[in-house]
Amino acid sequence: MNRKIKWSYFVILLASFGTFVWILNFYLSHHDFRGSLISILKKNKLYQEQTKKSNPNPYEITMVTLYIPLDKSQNKFTTDTYRIWMRTFGWMSNKLVALVTDDTTMNHLKKIRSHLPPERTVLIRVNRSQFGSFKDLDRVKKIFSQPHYPIHKPNTVKAEYPITMNAKYDALQMAMDMGHVDTDYIAWVDIGYFRNLLYVKTPKNYSFTLEIPLDFEDTKIGFSEVGPRVSHTTPWDYIRHNIVWVAGGFVLGKKPVIQKFIKNFKRAFQNLLNHSMASTDQQTIGAMYSPQMIKEQNVKLKTYSCPKGRLQFQLFGSDLQYFCLGYICKEDAQRRRARVHSGQAPQTVPTESNIGL
């Protein structure tokens, strides 16, 4: 009796399995079924993209850059070098607002970004006279021509160099005023910032995304820390000794905080001009947070430092300090993805770089 039941179960099991395989085979060899399966998947992907649009990534950063060609007497890198570096902007999936002053650069960037969805790139042709920073060109020229003014190439030699650096704050403001920044976060990025990626072996379809660091603080502006902030350093010390506390290549913040910072920066630069002092934004920011000027600041900085002495981000020498924050944004975006894929909720990890002012 028992044995008979076992046998009949076995036969039923075998028959069901056979029927299943037969049906599966029939459906898989049936063209329409496959077609509809693919179309369901496609629809689902479209659906996912649409929900992404109406439900944007809260950590995403709109990137802003500007390129003004300078001649060899004004900057050590040539236009050709910058064009090569720009290739890395084709790998960056973030929305990019790029302001350019010449057609060649405009077309070059258009081509580099052409494989991305069109709404990810906004290219704006500008004239350098549209930037508020260029209004100070003559005053800076006059300051640099003073006898015994410190000479630090290229920062304090040709007025065009620091004035062009200052134009990044105008560019950030213009990107917001023109309504191109739909994300909560905005960042300035130098056009050559990710150049080191050109020398790292990457797949042909390489792509990266920049998101705010896991430990970012919304009320502060993020910068890479290059050197220590020595408490008794004066504004003039920053300029005459060419001291760099934070790097100007990547400036990250929430829109209203960035706007406050831009106002503070411009006021500080005018204040320095009034005292016959000028250099790049890196020295201006050092001066802003020196004991002499810190009381005028209503925005704190959050500085990120990548410790030397171990291989990090495949960056070497001073690049590790100067490019620290951008690489953290790149890595933390990957870390969030990894957590989502492993089912863990993204969380904030405090790091040693959490130095508030």
Ligand X SMILES: *[C@@H]1O[C@H](CO)[C@@H](O)[C@H](O)[C@H]1NC(C)=O
Taking CB under 6 A as the rule, does residue 342 contact ligand X? no
Binders of ligand X: how many residues, by CB under 6 A?
Answer: 9
Alpha carbon distances (Å) from 67 to 25, 169, 232, 301, 334? 59, 13, 35, 26, 28
CB of 57 to ligand X, least distance (A): 16
CB of 287 to ligand X, least distance (A): 12
The stretch among 133-141, 200-208, 210-218, 229-237 that binds ligand X (CB under 6 A) is 200-208
Nearer to ligand X, 273 or 315 (CB): 273
β-bridge mates for residue 71, sequence order: none
Nearer to ligand X, 231 or 274 (CB): 274
Interaction with ligand X in 238-297: which residues (CB under 6 A)?
Answer: 267, 270-271, 274
Nearer to ligand X, 96 or 306 (CB): 96
**How far apart are the C-alpha atoms of 323 and 315, rounded to whole Å?**
8
CB of 265 to ligand X, least distance (A): 11
Nearer to ligand X, 258 or 272 (CB): 272
Taking CB under 6 A as the rule, does residue 25 contact ligand X? no
CB of 158 to ligand X, least distance (A): 19
Interaction with ligand X in 72-131: which residues (CB under 6 A)?
Answer: 127, 129
**How far apart are the C-alpha atoms of 56 and 92, rounded to whole Å?**
17
Among positions 2, 54, 145, 205, the unique one binding ligand X when judged by CB under 6 A: 205
Nearer to ligand X, 49 or 218 (CB): 49
Nearer to ligand X, 8 or 44 (CB): 44
Taking CB under 6 A as the rule, does residue 203 contact ligand X? yes
Q: Are 61 and 210 in contact (CB under 8 A)?
A: yes
CB of 256 to ligand X, least distance (A): 22
Q: Which residues in this chain contact ligand X in the complex, by CB under 6 A?
A: 127, 129, 203, 205, 207, 267, 270-271, 274
